[in-house]
Structure 1
Amino acid sequence: MTLAYRPTGAFAESLDPRAKLGFQAAFAVAAFAHTTPRGLAVLTVVAALALAAARTSPTWVVSEFRLALPFLVGSPLLAGFALGPPWFVPGDAVAPLLASYRVLLVLAVGAAYVRTTPARDSRAAVQHLVPGRPGQFLGMGIAFVFRFLPVLQADLRSIRSAMAARLGDERPLRERMQLVATAGLARAFERADRFALALRARCFAWNPTLPPLSVGVRDVPVLAGTAALVAWSLA
Protein backbone atom coordinates (compact mmCIF):
# COMPACT_ATOMS: atom_id res chain seq x y z
CA MET A 1 0.00 0.00 0.00
CA THR A 2 1.03 3.60 -0.57
CA LEU A 3 0.52 6.77 1.39
CA ALA A 4 -2.73 7.83 -0.27
CA TYR A 5 -6.45 8.06 0.44
CA ARG A 6 -7.96 4.63 0.98
CA PRO A 7 -11.69 4.52 1.90
CA THR A 8 -12.22 1.95 4.64
CA GLY A 9 -15.24 3.37 6.46
CA ALA A 10 -13.06 4.71 9.27
CA PHE A 11 -14.47 7.29 11.67
CA ALA A 12 -11.92 9.90 10.52
CA GLU A 13 -13.23 9.75 6.94
CA SER A 14 -16.49 11.43 7.98
CA LEU A 15 -14.75 14.38 9.64
CA ASP A 16 -14.44 17.83 8.14
CA PRO A 17 -10.94 18.19 6.59
CA ARG A 18 -10.56 21.63 8.19
CA ALA A 19 -11.03 20.08 11.62
CA LYS A 20 -8.43 17.42 10.81
CA LEU A 21 -5.95 20.03 9.53
CA GLY A 22 -6.43 22.06 12.71
CA PHE A 23 -5.84 18.95 14.81
CA GLN A 24 -2.63 18.20 12.91
CA ALA A 25 -1.34 21.73 13.45
CA ALA A 26 -2.20 21.64 17.16
CA PHE A 27 -0.54 18.24 17.55
CA ALA A 28 2.65 19.48 15.88
CA VAL A 29 2.75 22.55 18.12
CA ALA A 30 2.22 20.40 21.21
CA ALA A 31 4.95 17.99 20.06
CA PHE A 32 7.49 20.80 19.83
CA ALA A 33 6.29 22.43 23.06
CA HIS A 34 6.48 19.29 25.21
CA THR A 35 9.68 17.40 24.52
CA THR A 36 9.98 15.57 27.84
CA PRO A 37 9.35 11.80 28.11
CA ARG A 38 6.12 12.48 29.97
CA GLY A 39 4.88 14.88 27.30
CA LEU A 40 5.78 12.50 24.51
CA ALA A 41 4.01 9.68 26.35
CA VAL A 42 0.81 11.75 26.35
CA LEU A 43 1.26 12.53 22.66
CA THR A 44 1.81 8.84 21.95
CA VAL A 45 -1.65 8.11 23.33
CA VAL A 46 -3.14 10.92 21.23
CA ALA A 47 -1.37 9.65 18.08
CA ALA A 48 -2.61 6.12 18.80
CA LEU A 49 -6.19 7.42 19.02
CA ALA A 50 -5.74 9.25 15.70
CA LEU A 51 -4.44 6.09 14.02
CA ALA A 52 -7.31 4.06 15.48
CA ALA A 53 -9.84 6.60 14.17
CA ALA A 54 -8.20 6.27 10.74
CA ARG A 55 -7.94 2.46 10.91
CA THR A 56 -4.23 2.75 10.26
CA SER A 57 -1.66 0.41 11.76
CA PRO A 58 1.43 1.87 13.47
CA THR A 59 3.45 -0.87 11.79
CA TRP A 60 2.26 0.36 8.40
CA VAL A 61 3.27 3.93 9.30
CA VAL A 62 6.79 2.80 10.21
CA SER A 63 7.02 0.79 6.99
CA GLU A 64 5.75 3.70 4.88
CA PHE A 65 8.32 6.11 6.33
CA ARG A 66 11.15 3.57 6.37
CA LEU A 67 13.31 5.84 4.20
CA ALA A 68 13.34 8.40 7.01
CA LEU A 69 14.16 5.84 9.70
CA PRO A 70 17.94 5.81 9.10
CA PHE A 71 18.03 9.57 9.79
CA LEU A 72 15.77 9.28 12.84
CA VAL A 73 17.82 6.42 14.27
CA GLY A 74 21.21 7.68 13.14
CA SER A 75 20.88 11.10 14.75
CA PRO A 76 20.87 9.80 18.37
CA LEU A 77 23.67 7.34 17.57
CA LEU A 78 25.87 10.07 16.11
CA ALA A 79 25.11 12.41 19.00
CA GLY A 80 26.13 9.79 21.55
CA PHE A 81 29.25 8.68 19.71
CA ALA A 82 32.56 9.63 21.32
CA LEU A 83 36.06 9.50 19.84
CA GLY A 84 37.47 7.84 22.94
CA PRO A 85 36.40 5.61 25.81
CA PRO A 86 33.60 4.91 26.64
CA TRP A 87 32.97 5.48 22.85
CA PHE A 88 29.28 6.10 23.42
CA VAL A 89 27.68 8.53 25.92
CA PRO A 90 23.99 7.65 26.45
CA GLY A 91 23.23 11.01 28.03
CA ASP A 92 24.19 12.85 24.83
CA ALA A 93 21.82 10.69 22.79
CA VAL A 94 18.71 11.29 24.91
CA ALA A 95 17.70 14.67 23.47
CA PRO A 96 18.15 13.63 19.80
CA LEU A 97 16.30 10.38 20.54
CA LEU A 98 13.32 12.29 21.94
CA ALA A 99 13.40 14.65 18.96
CA SER A 100 13.40 11.73 16.51
CA TYR A 101 10.48 10.10 18.29
CA ARG A 102 8.62 13.41 18.22
CA VAL A 103 9.05 13.62 14.45
CA LEU A 104 7.78 10.04 14.08
CA LEU A 105 4.62 10.91 16.04
CA VAL A 106 3.96 13.93 13.81
CA LEU A 107 4.45 11.75 10.72
CA ALA A 108 1.99 9.19 12.12
CA VAL A 109 -0.75 11.79 12.60
CA GLY A 110 -0.05 13.16 9.13
CA ALA A 111 -0.35 9.66 7.66
CA ALA A 112 -3.72 9.23 9.38
CA TYR A 113 -4.92 12.42 7.70
CA VAL A 114 -3.73 11.41 4.22
CA ARG A 115 -5.26 7.94 4.50
CA THR A 116 -8.71 9.34 5.36
CA THR A 117 -8.98 12.54 3.28
CA PRO A 118 -9.52 12.74 -0.50
CA ALA A 119 -7.29 15.18 -2.37
CA ARG A 120 -10.31 17.27 -3.44
CA ASP A 121 -11.38 17.70 0.19
CA SER A 122 -7.88 18.79 1.18
CA ARG A 123 -7.84 21.35 -1.62
CA ALA A 124 -11.27 22.63 -0.59
CA ALA A 125 -10.17 22.93 3.04
CA VAL A 126 -7.07 24.95 2.14
CA GLN A 127 -8.99 27.26 -0.17
CA HIS A 128 -11.59 27.84 2.55
CA LEU A 129 -8.91 28.68 5.10
CA VAL A 130 -6.71 30.82 2.78
CA PRO A 131 -8.80 33.18 0.64
CA GLY A 132 -7.98 34.45 -2.84
CA ARG A 133 -5.37 33.33 -5.34
CA PRO A 134 -2.83 32.26 -2.65
CA GLY A 135 -5.36 29.77 -1.30
CA GLN A 136 -6.08 28.49 -4.80
CA PHE A 137 -2.37 28.07 -5.46
CA LEU A 138 -1.77 26.24 -2.15
CA GLY A 139 -4.83 24.06 -2.59
CA MET A 140 -3.79 23.16 -6.12
CA GLY A 141 -0.28 22.26 -4.95
CA ILE A 142 -1.54 20.07 -2.11
CA ALA A 143 -3.95 18.26 -4.40
CA PHE A 144 -1.18 17.63 -6.94
CA VAL A 145 1.20 16.30 -4.28
CA PHE A 146 -1.40 13.94 -2.83
CA ARG A 147 -2.14 12.56 -6.30
CA PHE A 148 1.42 12.52 -7.64
CA LEU A 149 3.37 11.17 -4.64
CA PRO A 150 1.73 7.69 -4.56
CA VAL A 151 2.47 7.31 -8.28
CA LEU A 152 6.15 8.11 -7.72
CA GLN A 153 6.28 5.67 -4.80
CA ALA A 154 4.80 2.94 -7.00
CA ASP A 155 7.38 3.72 -9.71
CA LEU A 156 10.25 3.37 -7.24
CA ARG A 157 8.90 0.04 -6.02
CA SER A 158 8.59 -1.24 -9.58
CA ILE A 159 12.17 -0.12 -10.33
CA ARG A 160 13.50 -1.94 -7.26
CA SER A 161 11.49 -5.06 -8.13
CA ALA A 162 12.86 -5.02 -11.67
CA MET A 163 16.40 -4.71 -10.33
CA ALA A 164 15.87 -7.60 -7.93
CA ALA A 165 14.50 -9.76 -10.76
CA ARG A 166 17.74 -9.13 -12.67
CA LEU A 167 19.92 -9.84 -9.61
CA GLY A 168 20.54 -6.13 -9.21
CA ASP A 169 20.29 -6.50 -5.44
CA GLU A 170 23.70 -8.22 -5.55
CA ARG A 171 25.37 -5.04 -6.78
CA PRO A 172 27.19 -2.74 -4.31
CA LEU A 173 24.92 -0.44 -2.28
CA ARG A 174 26.30 2.73 -3.88
CA GLU A 175 25.66 1.41 -7.38
CA ARG A 176 22.13 0.32 -6.46
CA MET A 177 21.34 3.75 -5.03
CA GLN A 178 22.68 5.42 -8.18
CA LEU A 179 20.60 3.21 -10.46
CA VAL A 180 17.39 3.68 -8.47
CA ALA A 181 17.91 7.45 -8.21
CA THR A 182 18.66 7.82 -11.93
CA ALA A 183 15.73 5.68 -13.05
CA GLY A 184 13.44 7.31 -10.48
CA LEU A 185 14.28 10.84 -11.63
CA ALA A 186 13.82 9.89 -15.28
CA ARG A 187 10.42 8.35 -14.48
CA ALA A 188 9.44 11.41 -12.39
CA PHE A 189 10.22 13.83 -15.23
CA GLU A 190 8.32 11.63 -17.65
CA ARG A 191 5.35 11.56 -15.30
CA ALA A 192 5.50 15.34 -14.88
CA ASP A 193 5.39 15.90 -18.65
CA ARG A 194 2.42 13.57 -19.05
CA PHE A 195 0.72 15.19 -16.07
CA ALA A 196 1.10 18.68 -17.56
CA LEU A 197 -0.27 17.45 -20.89
CA ALA A 198 -3.25 15.87 -19.14
CA LEU A 199 -4.00 19.15 -17.32
CA ARG A 200 -4.00 21.09 -20.57
CA ALA A 201 -6.17 18.46 -22.27
CA ARG A 202 -8.72 18.73 -19.48
CA CYS A 203 -8.72 22.56 -19.49
CA PHE A 204 -7.40 22.82 -15.95
CA ALA A 205 -9.11 25.62 -13.98
CA TRP A 206 -7.75 27.59 -11.06
CA ASN A 207 -11.14 27.80 -9.37
CA PRO A 208 -13.08 24.57 -9.99
CA THR A 209 -16.29 23.55 -8.23
CA LEU A 210 -15.12 22.10 -4.92
CA PRO A 211 -17.02 19.74 -2.62
CA PRO A 212 -19.09 21.47 0.09
CA LEU A 213 -17.64 21.39 3.60
CA SER A 214 -19.58 21.52 6.85
CA VAL A 215 -18.67 20.98 10.48
CA GLY A 216 -20.92 18.39 12.11
CA VAL A 217 -21.47 16.71 15.43
CA ARG A 218 -18.72 14.16 14.71
CA ASP A 219 -16.20 16.97 14.49
CA VAL A 220 -16.85 18.12 18.05
CA PRO A 221 -14.41 15.64 19.70
CA VAL A 222 -11.71 16.63 17.20
CA LEU A 223 -12.26 20.33 17.79
CA ALA A 224 -12.23 19.75 21.55
CA GLY A 225 -8.99 17.78 21.24
CA THR A 226 -7.48 20.56 19.13
CA ALA A 227 -8.40 23.16 21.74
CA ALA A 228 -6.96 20.99 24.50
CA LEU A 229 -3.68 20.54 22.64
CA VAL A 230 -3.39 24.27 22.01
CA ALA A 231 -4.12 25.07 25.68
CA TRP A 232 -1.60 22.44 26.78
CA SER A 233 1.03 23.90 24.47
CA LEU A 234 0.51 27.39 25.89
CA ALA A 235 0.47 26.22 29.52
Structure 2
Amino acid sequence: MLRYEPGTTLVHDLDPRTKLAFQVAFTAAAFAHTTPRGLVVLTGIVGGVLLAARLRPRSVVADLRFVLPFLVAAPLLEGLTLGSPWFSLAEARFPALASYRVLLVLLVSAAYVTTTPSRESRAAIQWLVPGRPGQFLGVGVGLVFRFLPVLQRDAARAREAMRARLGEARPLTERMRIVATTGLRRAFDRSDTLAFALGARCFAWNPTLPRLALGRTDVPVLAGCVALVGWALWPLVGWPPVPGA
Protein backbone atom coordinates (compact mmCIF):
# COMPACT_ATOMS: atom_id res chain seq x y z
CA MET A 1 0.00 0.00 0.00
CA LEU A 2 1.44 3.34 -1.07
CA ARG A 3 2.07 5.48 2.00
CA TYR A 4 4.95 7.22 3.70
CA GLU A 5 7.51 4.86 5.20
CA PRO A 6 10.23 6.38 7.44
CA GLY A 7 13.75 5.64 6.30
CA THR A 8 17.29 6.91 5.80
CA THR A 9 17.62 6.45 2.05
CA LEU A 10 19.02 9.00 -0.36
CA VAL A 11 15.51 9.89 -1.54
CA HIS A 12 14.31 10.36 2.04
CA ASP A 13 17.07 12.93 2.61
CA LEU A 14 16.14 15.05 -0.41
CA ASP A 15 14.24 18.29 0.00
CA PRO A 16 10.57 17.81 -1.01
CA ARG A 17 10.87 20.70 -3.46
CA THR A 18 13.66 18.84 -5.20
CA LYS A 19 11.53 15.71 -5.44
CA LEU A 20 8.60 17.68 -6.85
CA ALA A 21 10.87 19.33 -9.41
CA PHE A 22 12.19 15.91 -10.45
CA GLN A 23 8.65 14.59 -10.92
CA VAL A 24 7.75 17.53 -13.16
CA ALA A 25 10.96 17.23 -15.19
CA PHE A 26 10.62 13.47 -15.54
CA THR A 27 6.99 13.75 -16.66
CA ALA A 28 7.91 16.38 -19.26
CA ALA A 29 10.69 14.17 -20.62
CA ALA A 30 8.40 11.13 -20.69
CA PHE A 31 5.73 12.92 -22.72
CA ALA A 32 8.29 14.46 -25.07
CA HIS A 33 10.11 11.18 -25.76
CA THR A 34 7.46 8.47 -25.97
CA THR A 35 9.64 6.32 -28.21
CA PRO A 36 11.23 2.92 -27.60
CA ARG A 37 14.70 4.40 -27.13
CA GLY A 38 13.44 7.27 -25.00
CA LEU A 39 11.47 4.93 -22.76
CA VAL A 40 14.51 2.68 -22.35
CA VAL A 41 16.46 5.68 -21.04
CA LEU A 42 13.59 6.66 -18.75
CA THR A 43 13.29 3.07 -17.50
CA GLY A 44 16.92 3.22 -16.41
CA ILE A 45 16.23 6.47 -14.56
CA VAL A 46 13.21 4.93 -12.82
CA GLY A 47 15.32 1.94 -11.83
CA GLY A 48 17.85 4.29 -10.25
CA VAL A 49 15.10 6.15 -8.38
CA LEU A 50 13.60 2.94 -6.97
CA LEU A 51 17.06 1.69 -6.03
CA ALA A 52 17.86 4.97 -4.24
CA ALA A 53 14.54 4.76 -2.38
CA ARG A 54 15.08 1.04 -1.62
CA LEU A 55 11.78 0.08 -3.21
CA ARG A 56 11.17 -3.22 -4.96
CA PRO A 57 9.67 -2.68 -8.44
CA ARG A 58 7.44 -5.75 -8.04
CA SER A 59 5.98 -4.45 -4.77
CA VAL A 60 5.35 -0.98 -6.20
CA VAL A 61 3.67 -2.42 -9.30
CA ALA A 62 1.52 -4.59 -7.03
CA ASP A 63 0.39 -1.44 -5.20
CA LEU A 64 -0.58 0.04 -8.58
CA ARG A 65 -2.54 -3.04 -9.63
CA PHE A 66 -5.83 -1.14 -9.82
CA VAL A 67 -4.43 1.05 -12.61
CA LEU A 68 -2.77 -1.73 -14.61
CA PRO A 69 -5.97 -3.07 -16.28
CA PHE A 70 -6.62 0.36 -17.82
CA LEU A 71 -3.03 0.62 -19.06
CA VAL A 72 -3.27 -2.83 -20.66
CA ALA A 73 -6.75 -2.30 -22.10
CA ALA A 74 -5.85 0.87 -24.03
CA PRO A 75 -3.45 -0.75 -26.56
CA LEU A 76 -5.61 -3.86 -26.82
CA LEU A 77 -8.73 -1.89 -27.72
CA GLU A 78 -6.84 0.39 -30.08
CA GLY A 79 -5.34 -2.56 -31.96
CA LEU A 80 -8.62 -4.39 -32.51
CA THR A 81 -9.98 -4.29 -36.07
CA LEU A 82 -13.35 -5.30 -37.49
CA GLY A 83 -11.81 -7.53 -40.11
CA SER A 84 -8.70 -9.50 -40.90
CA PRO A 85 -6.08 -9.51 -39.34
CA TRP A 86 -8.37 -8.61 -36.36
CA PHE A 87 -5.50 -6.98 -34.49
CA SER A 88 -3.13 -4.33 -35.79
CA LEU A 89 0.25 -4.01 -34.12
CA ALA A 90 0.83 -0.70 -35.86
CA GLU A 91 -2.33 0.78 -34.34
CA ALA A 92 -1.54 -0.60 -30.88
CA ARG A 93 2.10 0.54 -30.90
CA PHE A 94 1.72 4.14 -29.70
CA PRO A 95 -1.01 3.38 -27.10
CA ALA A 96 1.27 0.67 -25.69
CA LEU A 97 4.16 3.12 -25.48
CA ALA A 98 1.87 5.72 -23.89
CA SER A 99 0.63 3.21 -21.30
CA TYR A 100 4.20 2.27 -20.42
CA ARG A 101 5.03 5.98 -20.15
CA VAL A 102 2.22 6.46 -17.64
CA LEU A 103 3.47 3.47 -15.65
CA LEU A 104 6.95 5.01 -15.40
CA VAL A 105 5.49 8.31 -14.18
CA LEU A 106 3.43 6.45 -11.57
CA LEU A 107 6.52 4.61 -10.34
CA VAL A 108 8.34 7.91 -9.81
CA SER A 109 5.29 9.29 -8.00
CA ALA A 110 5.18 6.19 -5.80
CA ALA A 111 8.79 6.81 -4.77
CA TYR A 112 7.82 10.35 -3.77
CA VAL A 113 4.80 9.23 -1.72
CA THR A 114 6.70 6.55 0.19
CA THR A 115 9.64 8.82 1.06
CA THR A 116 7.99 12.17 1.83
CA PRO A 117 5.93 12.98 4.96
CA SER A 118 2.69 14.80 4.30
CA ARG A 119 3.86 17.79 6.38
CA GLU A 120 6.89 18.25 4.14
CA SER A 121 4.70 18.02 1.04
CA ARG A 122 2.42 20.67 2.48
CA ALA A 123 5.38 22.91 3.31
CA ALA A 124 6.75 22.54 -0.23
CA ILE A 125 3.41 23.41 -1.84
CA GLN A 126 2.87 26.43 0.40
CA TRP A 127 6.39 27.60 -0.46
CA LEU A 128 5.61 27.23 -4.16
CA VAL A 129 2.13 28.83 -4.00
CA PRO A 130 2.15 31.64 -1.40
CA GLY A 131 -0.90 33.00 0.37
CA ARG A 132 -4.27 31.41 1.04
CA PRO A 133 -4.34 29.42 -2.27
CA GLY A 134 -1.12 27.67 -1.24
CA GLN A 135 -2.50 26.98 2.23
CA PHE A 136 -5.66 25.51 0.69
CA LEU A 137 -3.64 23.29 -1.66
CA GLY A 138 -1.31 22.25 1.15
CA VAL A 139 -4.20 21.21 3.37
CA GLY A 140 -5.73 19.24 0.51
CA VAL A 141 -2.52 17.39 -0.26
CA GLY A 142 -1.90 16.62 3.40
CA LEU A 143 -5.42 15.24 3.89
CA VAL A 144 -5.21 13.11 0.73
CA PHE A 145 -1.88 11.58 1.73
CA ARG A 146 -3.23 10.73 5.19
CA PHE A 147 -6.81 9.84 4.25
CA LEU A 148 -6.34 7.73 1.10
CA PRO A 149 -4.38 4.88 2.78
CA VAL A 150 -7.10 4.66 5.43
CA LEU A 151 -9.80 4.31 2.75
CA GLN A 152 -7.72 1.68 0.96
CA ARG A 153 -7.42 -0.33 4.17
CA ASP A 154 -11.19 -0.05 4.71
CA ALA A 155 -11.86 -1.37 1.20
CA ALA A 156 -9.42 -4.24 1.73
CA ARG A 157 -11.10 -5.16 5.01
CA ALA A 158 -14.51 -5.14 3.34
CA ARG A 159 -13.26 -7.58 0.69
CA GLU A 160 -11.67 -9.82 3.33
CA ALA A 161 -14.89 -9.84 5.37
CA MET A 162 -16.90 -10.76 2.28
CA ARG A 163 -14.53 -13.65 1.47
CA ALA A 164 -14.79 -14.91 5.07
CA ARG A 165 -18.58 -15.05 4.63
CA LEU A 166 -18.32 -16.98 1.33
CA GLY A 167 -18.98 -13.83 -0.62
CA GLU A 168 -16.99 -15.22 -3.56
CA ALA A 169 -20.03 -17.37 -4.37
CA ARG A 170 -22.12 -14.26 -5.05
CA PRO A 171 -22.44 -12.76 -8.55
CA LEU A 172 -19.77 -10.24 -9.53
CA THR A 173 -22.21 -7.31 -9.69
CA GLU A 174 -23.45 -8.02 -6.18
CA ARG A 175 -19.89 -8.26 -4.83
CA MET A 176 -19.04 -4.92 -6.45
CA ARG A 177 -22.16 -3.35 -4.93
CA ILE A 178 -21.34 -4.64 -1.44
CA VAL A 179 -17.74 -3.43 -1.53
CA ALA A 180 -18.72 -0.05 -3.05
CA THR A 181 -21.52 0.68 -0.56
CA THR A 182 -19.41 -0.45 2.38
CA GLY A 183 -16.51 1.69 1.20
CA LEU A 184 -18.69 4.76 0.74
CA ARG A 185 -20.33 4.33 4.14
CA ARG A 186 -16.98 4.06 5.86
CA ALA A 187 -15.63 7.01 3.87
CA PHE A 188 -18.48 9.23 5.09
CA ASP A 189 -17.94 7.99 8.66
CA ARG A 190 -14.24 8.77 8.36
CA SER A 191 -15.04 12.24 7.01
CA ASP A 192 -17.27 13.03 9.98
CA THR A 193 -14.61 11.78 12.39
CA LEU A 194 -11.94 13.81 10.59
CA ALA A 195 -14.01 16.99 10.77
CA PHE A 196 -14.60 16.47 14.50
CA ALA A 197 -10.89 15.79 15.11
CA LEU A 198 -9.82 18.91 13.20
CA GLY A 199 -12.16 21.04 15.26
CA ALA A 200 -11.08 19.45 18.54
CA ARG A 201 -7.41 20.10 17.73
CA CYS A 202 -7.95 23.74 16.77
CA PHE A 203 -7.18 23.26 13.09
CA ALA A 204 -5.20 26.19 11.69
CA TRP A 205 -4.72 27.27 8.10
CA ASN A 206 -1.15 28.34 8.71
CA PRO A 207 0.47 25.99 11.25
CA THR A 208 4.17 25.75 11.99
CA LEU A 209 5.53 23.59 9.19
CA PRO A 210 8.93 21.90 8.99
CA ARG A 211 11.78 24.08 7.80
CA LEU A 212 12.89 23.36 4.24
CA ALA A 213 16.55 23.56 3.30
CA LEU A 214 18.47 22.30 0.29
CA GLY A 215 21.40 20.01 1.02
CA ARG A 216 24.39 18.71 -0.89
CA THR A 217 22.46 15.74 -2.23
CA ASP A 218 19.88 18.07 -3.78
CA VAL A 219 22.40 19.73 -6.10
CA PRO A 220 23.02 16.76 -8.45
CA VAL A 221 19.32 15.92 -8.50
CA LEU A 222 18.43 19.49 -9.45
CA ALA A 223 21.10 19.35 -12.16
CA GLY A 224 19.42 16.17 -13.41
CA CYS A 225 16.09 18.02 -13.45
CA VAL A 226 17.60 20.72 -15.65
CA ALA A 227 18.98 18.03 -17.96
CA LEU A 228 15.60 16.30 -18.20
CA VAL A 229 13.83 19.58 -18.99
CA GLY A 230 16.43 20.37 -21.65
CA TRP A 231 15.96 16.90 -23.14
CA ALA A 232 12.18 17.42 -23.15
CA LEU A 233 12.50 20.80 -24.89
CA TRP A 234 15.11 19.60 -27.39
CA PRO A 235 12.65 18.65 -30.17
CA LEU A 236 10.49 21.74 -29.56
CA VAL A 237 13.04 24.51 -30.08
CA GLY A 238 14.11 23.50 -33.56
CA TRP A 239 17.45 22.00 -32.63
CA PRO A 240 18.75 19.02 -34.63
CA PRO A 241 16.89 15.92 -33.40
CA VAL A 242 18.69 13.27 -31.44
CA PRO A 243 18.72 10.03 -33.50
CA GLY A 244 16.14 7.61 -32.16
CA ALA A 245 15.07 9.90 -29.28
Q: TM-score range by the shorter chain?
A: over 0.9
Q: Please state if 1:93 is matched with 2:81.
A: no
Q: Any stretches of 5+ residues in structure 1 without a counterpart?
A: none
Q: Deviations over 1:92-129 (max 9, x none)?
A: 11111001000000000000000000000000010111
In structure 1, what is the equivalent of residue 41 of structure 2? 42
CA distance in 1, matches of 2:174, 2:92: 32
In structure 2, what is the equivalent of residue 15 of structure 1? 14
In structure 2, what is the equivalent of residue 125 of structure 1? 124
Matched AA of 1:35? T
Q: Could you list the runs of 4 or more consecutive aligned residues of structure 1 that deviate by over 4 angstroms after TM superposition? A: none
1:85 CA drift (Å): 1.7
- Quick check: 20-29 or 53-62, which moved more? 53-62
In structure 1, what is the equivalent of residue 61 of structure 2? 62
Matched AA of 2:196? L
CA distance in 2, matches of 1:122, 1:53: 19
- SS in structure 2 opposite 1:217? coil
1:11 CA drift (Å): 1.2
CA distance in 1, matches of 2:34, 2:57: 21
CA distance in 2, matches of 1:159, 1:61: 22
CA distance in 2, matches of 1:36, 1:121: 35
1:48 CA drift (Å): 1.0
Q: Deviations over 1:157-203 (max 9, x none)?
A: 10110011111122222221111111111111110111011000101
How many pairs does the alignment contain? 234
In structure 1, what is the equivalent of residue 233 of structure 2? 234
- SS in structure 1 opposite 2:217? helix
In structure 2, what is the equivalent of residue 149 of structure 1? 148
Tell me the TM-score normalised to structure 1 length.
0.98
In structure 2, what is the equivalent of residue 134 of structure 1? 133
Q: Please state if 1:24 is matched with 2:8.
A: no
In structure 1, what is the equivalent of residue 242 of structure 2? none
1:8 CA drift (Å): 2.7
Matched AA of 2:6? P
CA distance in 1, matches of 2:172, 2:96: 27
Matched AA of 1:190? D
- Quick check: 171-180 or 122-131, which moved more? 171-180
CA distance in 1, matches of 2:90, 2:182: 42
Matched AA of 2:202? C
Q: Please state if 1:5 is matched with 2:7.
A: no
Matched AA of 2:188? F
In structure 2, what is the equivalent of residue 181 of structure 1? 180
- SS in structure 1 opposite 2:221? helix
Matched AA of 1:29? A
Q: Percent identity?
A: 63
- SS in structure 2 opposite 1:110? helix
RMSD (Å), alpha carbons? 0.8
In structure 2, what is the equivalent of residue 198 of structure 1? 197
Matched AA of 1:99? A
Matched AA of 1:34? H
- Quick check: 180-189 or 169-178, which moved more? 169-178
Matched AA of 1:85? S
1:7 CA drift (Å): 1.1
Matched AA of 2:181? T
1:64 CA drift (Å): 0.8
Q: Please state if 1:162 is matched with 2:161.
A: yes
1:83 CA drift (Å): 1.6
Q: Any stretches of 5+ residues in structure 2 without a counterpart?
A: 235-245
Matched AA of 1:108? L
1:135 CA drift (Å): 0.6
